[in-house]
Amino acid sequence: MFSTRLLYILAVVVAGTVGSLLVMQLWGSRPLVWTTPATASMQTKSGWNTLSGKPPVLVGHRGEKAFMPEHSRASYWQAALEGADYIEPDLALTRDGHLVVNHNEWLGDNTNVADIPSLSHLRTNKTWLDNGRSISVTNEWFIKDMTLAQVKQLRIRQDPKFAWRPQHFNDVFSVLTFEEYLQIVRNLTVDIGRPFGVIPELKSPKFYNDGRSYPRYFEDRAILTLSHYEWAEVSVEVNRSAHADLKLQPLRALPVGVELGPSAWQSFDLDTAEYLSAHTRNVPIVALVETLPWVFTPGGLDKLSKFAAIISPWKDFFVAGADNVLRSFNVTWDSEEIKSLGGFISPHEFAAEAHRRNVSISPYTFYDSHQPMAYLCQQDTSLGTFCPTDKQAEFFYFFSLGVDYMFVENIVEARLLREQYANQVVA
């Protein structure tokens, strides 16, 4: 018998789920026409090219943001109902030390904070360093300046830049704490009857650690919370005394026969990634990489493989190549250093090179088909030997490369394309 909670979940998200299924019927009726010089040899009925030999794992990017306000309770529910393998939260830290879930360090893009007069005095400008790059944001409300009580006054909205996304649930759901997210996934595991992976990303750790009692406050707080909810085991002791104020809810035992899904850490800050790797056991590290040239060389992969089980680059590195993508980000590099590390790996060989080091690959982000795919080759066709023209071509290309994980939006769409590829290309 369905629980009351599950019936409520179904009632809230059924409209979005049915809509996504109707969209996918269009994909199901389309003929498969796809080949490229770089990957034609990979199109053989010989199984998946992933490190495990299994189909790629689909990560619900910020839940299911194609239909629900991102990182909301409903976004996580819908991601689960649509069959995501992992459900992703982004972590931030309030002024009074609470871990909350939000993608940006600020709140104006995706909440109603501008409509709350009592919070107007918190609007400000900030500049900080993130992986060596200076980030400046003006006229915004920052999570690190707000208490949890203030953050809990807010309601989440769809980003107005994406007007095609359903707006029905704007201003309904509050910003979640990390603990609430973990409780939701545990409950979904029980109610739906299958495990879901948790894959928290620690956003801008140095930004959030600034002004704290010690420089790993953010990381240790996240470790202790994930450990309490049985998704992590502390392997090297952390500074527990600095977190005596961390009051987590008593843990309810899972029903007999119910098991939690896997967990993984994510961070663009590789110092943080190494720290998380050293202090937790059986929690793979996802090294998010975008603006570090050395990463895209054989020597760079050798270095990352010492602590990262999964490498997650922006997806265009697999299409336009490292040199073109880095130039588009205005990133420069020392040519002699790159040469000494073995040179940039070609885009269609990067996944295979990672696999040779027993490292998985997880490109990001595969958008809903209403949204432009955002490849450089769509403005300049000379960049790369292949340029996807639609969602099917995009997904089939990455499947052929052997990517192991994919951060996706519109999970139903992604699942159907994965199924099509399995039926038509894989044995």
Class of residue 114 by CB neighbours under 10 A (exposed 0-12, middle 13-18, buried 19+): middle
CA separation for the pair 313, 325 (Å, rounded): 11
Q: What's the mean pLDDT in 192-200?
A: 98
Q: Return the sign of the alpha-carbon dihedral for residues 337, 341, 346, 347.
A: negative
The reported pLDDT for the residue numbered 46 is 59
CA separation for the pair 236, 214 (Å, rounded): 17
| Residue 23 pLDDT > 60 | no
The reported pLDDT for the residue numbered 160 is 86
| Residue 73 pLDDT > 80 | yes
- Exposure string over 86-106, b if 16+ CB within 10 A, otherwise e: bbbbbbbbbbebbbbbbbbbb
Confidence of residue 44 (pLDDT cuts 50, 70, 90): very low
Instruction: For the chain, give the longest Cα–Cα distance.
Output: 65
| Residue 36 pLDDT > 90 | no
Residue given tokens 């885009």 in the structure block:
347
Which region among 85-99, 157-171, 259-273, 302-316 has the lowest average model confidence (pLDDT)?
A: 157-171
Confidence of residue 18 (pLDDT cuts 50, 70, 90): very low
CA nearest 107: which of 77, 71, 73, 76?
Answer: 71
The reported pLDDT for the residue numbered 119 is 99
CA separation for the pair 393, 417 (Å, rounded): 10
Residue given tokens 């996918």 in the structure block:
24
Q: What's the mean pLDDT in 93-98?
A: 99
DSSP state of 229: T
DSSP state of 191: I
Cα-atom radius of gyration of the chain, to the nearest Å?
21
The residue with greater pLDDT, 248 or 25, is 248
Q: Return the sign of the alpha-carbon dihedral for residues 47, 48, 53, 56.
A: negative
CA separation for the pair 171, 209 (Å, rounded): 30
Q: What's the mean pLDDT in 103-111?
A: 98
The reported pLDDT for the residue numbered 223 is 99
| Residue 193 pLDDT > 70 | yes
The reported pLDDT for the residue numbered 383 is 86
User: And the tokens for 115?
Assistant: 């409509």
- Domains of the chain by start residue, with CATH: 4-103+175-424 (3.20.20.190)
Tens-place pLDDT, residues 303-341: 999 999 999 999 999 999 999 999 999 999 999 999 999
CA separation for the pair 94, 16 (Å, rounded): 31
Tens-place pLDDT, residues 137-150: 999 999 999 999 99
Tens-place pLDDT, residues 382-400: 887 899 999 999 999 999 9
Please give the angle made by the CA atoms of 215, 234 and 257, to the nearest 5 degrees: 140
| Residue 5 pLDDT > 90 | no
Q: Are strands 265-267 and 285-289 parallel, antiparallel or unpaired?
A: parallel
CB contact set of 29 (below 8 Å; sequence gap of 6+): none
Q: For residue 15, give the amino acid letter.
A: A
Computed over every residue of the chain, the mean pLDDT equals 91
Which phi and psi angles does 58 have, rounded to 5°? -100, 120
Return the C-alpha torsion angle 143, 147, 152, 157, nearest 10: -20
The residue with greater pLDDT, 38 or 248, is 248
Confidence of residue 224 (pLDDT cuts 50, 70, 90): very high
Confidence of residue 233 (pLDDT cuts 50, 70, 90): very high
CA nearest 360: which of 296, 304, 403?
Answer: 403
- DSSP string computed for 347-401: GGGHHHHHHHTT-EE--B-B--TTS----GGGT-TTSSS----SHHHHHHHHHHH
Q: What's the mean pLDDT in 176-199?
A: 98
CA separation for the pair 86, 284 (Å, rounded): 13
CA separation for the pair 149, 169 (Å, rounded): 22
Which region among 2-11, 242-251, 298-307 has the lowest average model confidence (pLDDT)?
A: 2-11
The reported pLDDT for the residue numbered 385 is 85
